[in-house]
Structure 1
């Protein structure tokens, strides 16, 4: 990958592929085409077979006029199809807006309005009835008007909640993706320590392929390293364990929710081939890590990163808990006023969505953290309205804004401790909605993982002496008890 990294330094402008087409070619050329790459149940796709599928998809997309600098929204469920289409679009040099399939139509419409892609590639009919991973999906390609071509060299665009409720639009260049793949390769090469999966390993990937860790550490690194990626048909302890045994998986990547499922399994089978397990997305609760180790005799590692930067720190063997590990190779960090900053060559934010979060070569993660003398990072939680639910970031402000749009709601405050709770004040003169009504309202407008677990209705919400809404759970609970 180092030679390719040199090549990408000479991109010729925002409308060119900036090396992303070469990135796809290099990932395929790195290993033998006969090696298995993707496996789901009894179906296995080799690297060579995937290469042919990607070429066919690219030819079809080229017929629509997609080429270097085209902007394409991609929204498909987890599947071989999702991977084929993403690589095919990159092969053509397109800028891909990778949308989580769990987003609801109003959320997708808002992102399309902001980014104005020229094309939309979506899963076809009967998708709503699907559950879990499938090998293939029919796809539909739609030309959108008015759309605008890429104005920057970013070729992967993702979205993350912002402190104002407006999603941040985050771009990654081919160079950035290559550098992250190389970082994971560097971790794999550290002698005397548990490392990343290598050629011959079978990785059970539970992390979302629409998000950074699952996409780069799971898919792109595995393609470069010759690792076979295995998927489970459904995310349940029973299906995960059956898949792990059937395919003799040697590595497992997921979020704490997955490890909690496995830790709670009754009389689980031994997994003698499993040598490495890594959790990303959110901090692993110590009780879950301890229970998993007790059940399976393997300590779960920690990976910490951001959508903007990719991997920041990692502790593959989980030996440094409660820290999230030391910086990955090539990553520079610093602690400033109790918050963690990561060095980046350029701002990753598009359409002015990042605010002041990037300045003077440093990304402010908004995570409260301390760094010890060895470089190990201990994360203490968020410094803003972002929380993590099931490994996915949720902006409480965004959810509050959706609740306030309900005609019967005057004010709403969200708090998150073990679960996300909403405290809602009903507007004067409006009919009193039920908690079920408000939950349904949210589900129609937000991805399911963003919907508050509990909604509590009050006559009014407590405020501070200067009129600001109180966001302390204890105070809100006391107000609820007082009204009762």
Structure 2
């Protein structure tokens, strides 16, 4: 794409260029029997932009967007970008205290959300009512970033990550330059979350630019996914390892003769799951590795380079330093001083332990800090520990994650000990469901090392119980 300079005008131009790249009559978004062509979506975007302009949203306005994955989510996002707004993309699964904390840091001027009872919805819905509210104390954008996302920080403080029009355009181009990615005429079944980078940029934005049709399954059950794949003659599938494991374990699955591309992102694909899926459906599972800060870093669409996650994507510079992977960036992606020392001297330190194999492919060996990936979503164990410590009866808490997330809790002296279910309920009220520990275990005291640090080895904590 062309070089981009003005943050508002050029992002609007990027969106328009993607629409203009292919025939308006081509189908773009499909859910069950409902399909939006490229032209129909563009008409909706134009009308929605006019509505937002009536609220006073324009270049440099800051807008929080909190809707479930849907046609509406993309329609609203593109309309806000057309107006030059800075969009803060909230995962709809976040609970009100989490959203309030993020808004306290970022101070959006407007919040756009789904008007219906989102908690009551089950499965994918194509459309939602749009509710726009002006926020008291909001501030206009102080930088040229036009997409703002949030990622857990190693200290428990969320990182606020900004993407410019230039970086978004470059990432769409990177995906276009990767051999084997879906192209014009392909039908992509998108199971990856569209609130996160791989689903949004590798799924929706790349597909808009490349002329790919995006299809959504009504529910994330094997039978619904397989029925959708057959009905719409799916040629490509993007998801997280959990999706592929679900499909590999399906009873008497049908053949998927049109499927030729399958790519997993969000967390490292277990080789066993990839092998089981390939045996069932005759398609190798590729790997996409990236971060919210950088977008796509390395990718192997065909899954032929496992156990690596593939070679660096076109235009991405990487290095392995002190056993951890760094990615070159022109500027820090962090807003509101939320990144700490993770970006220095032109390098983003992913804090993923990694190595480069003889062919230059990236082998990722796990996290070097407290961040873990659960079902394709990043969870900072420190954040969950802090929420548990806020309970009036809790003295200390430690989380560990191996096959599942376990919380070990010590109760304050003189306090009435809460039950494990009480503490799980406390977490559910304050954290997105995917962050809630699977098990809470109460101990008289948490074990510590000889120098006074809390023990964080699961085996030792279990033995202390």
Q: TM-score range by the shorter chain?
A: over 0.9
State whether residues 340 and 365 of structure 1, in contact with CA within 8 Å, keep that contact through their aligned partners in structure 2. yes
Residue 90 of structure 2 is aligned to residue 102 of structure 1: no
Q: How does 1:368-447 map to 2 (within 5 A)?
A: 368-447=353-432
One of 75, 78, 96 as aligned partner of 1:84: 75
Q: Which residue of 2 aligns with 1:26?
A: 17
Q: How many angstroms does 1:127 deviate by?
A: 2.0
Q: Which residue of 2 aligns with 1:336?
A: 321
State whether residues 81 and 135 of structure 1, in contact with CA within 8 Å, keep that contact through their aligned partners in structure 2. yes
When normalised by structure 2's length, the TM-score is 0.99
Deviation per CA, 1:378-437, whole angstroms, max 9, x where unpaired?
000000000000000000000000000011111100000111110111111111111111
One of 87, 105, 125 as aligned partner of 1:114: 105
Q: How many angstroms does 1:18 deviate by?
A: 5.3
How far, CA to CA, are the matches of 2:272 and 2:307 in structure 1? 11
When normalised by structure 1's length, the TM-score is 0.95
Residue 434 of structure 2 is aligned to residue 479 of structure 1: no
How far, CA to CA, are the matches of 1:377 and 1:109 in structure 2? 38
State whether residues 54 and 88 of structure 1, in contact with CA within 8 Å, keep that contact through their aligned partners in structure 2. yes
Q: Which residue of 2 aligns with 1:449?
A: 434
Q: How does 1:359-374 map to 2 (within 5 A)?
A: 359-374=344-359
Q: How does 1:206-285 map to 2 (within 5 A)?
A: 206-285=191-270
State whether residues 212 and 310 of structure 1, in contact with CA within 8 Å, keep that contact through their aligned partners in structure 2. yes
1:19 aligns to what SS in structure 2?
helix
Q: How many angstroms does 1:294 deviate by?
A: 1.2
Q: Which residue of 2 aligns with 1:202?
A: 187
Q: How many angstroms does 1:125 deviate by?
A: 2.5
Residue 55 of structure 2 is aligned to residue 53 of structure 1: no
State whether residues 424 and 457 of structure 1, in contact with CA within 8 Å, keep that contact through their aligned partners in structure 2. yes
State whether residues 18 and 153 of structure 1, in contact with CA within 8 Å, keep that contact through their aligned partners in structure 2. no
How far, CA to CA, are the matches of 1:298 and 1:172 in structure 2? 33
Paired residues, number: 465
The RMSD of aligned alpha carbons is: 0.7
How far, CA to CA, are the matches of 2:322 and 2:332 in structure 1? 21
Q: How does 1:451-470 map to 2 (within 5 A)?
A: 451-470=436-455
Residue 311 of structure 2 is aligned to residue 326 of structure 1: yes
1:74 aligns to what SS in structure 2?
strand
Residue 175 of structure 2 is aligned to residue 184 of structure 1: yes
Q: Which residue of 1 aligns with 2:139?
A: 148
2:307 aligns to what SS in structure 1?
coil
How far, CA to CA, are the matches of 2:441 and 2:62 in structure 1? 42
Q: How many angstroms does 1:373 deviate by?
A: 2.7
Q: How does 1:62-73 map to 2 (within 5 A)?
A: 62-73=53-64
How far, CA to CA, are the matches of 1:296 and 1:456 in structure 2? 41
State whether residues 40 and 135 of structure 1, in contact with CA within 8 Å, keep that contact through their aligned partners in structure 2. yes
How far, CA to CA, are the matches of 1:318 and 1:345 in structure 2? 30
Q: Which residue of 2 aligns with 1:303?
A: 288
Q: Which residue of 1 aligns with 2:298?
A: 313
Unaligned 5+ residue runs, structure 2?
none
Residue 126 of structure 2 is aligned to residue 135 of structure 1: yes
Residue 26 of structure 2 is aligned to residue 35 of structure 1: yes
Q: How many angstroms does 1:41 deviate by?
A: 0.2
1:17 aligns to what SS in structure 2?
helix
State whether residues 18 and 174 of structure 1, in contact with CA within 8 Å, keep that contact through their aligned partners in structure 2. no
How far, CA to CA, are the matches of 2:164 and 2:10 in structure 1? 9
Deviation per CA, 1:106-143, whole angstroms, max 9, x where unpaired?
00000000000000001102222111210110011000
Deviation per CA, 1:417-469, whole angstroms, max 9, x where unpaired?
11111011111111111111111100000000000011111110000111110
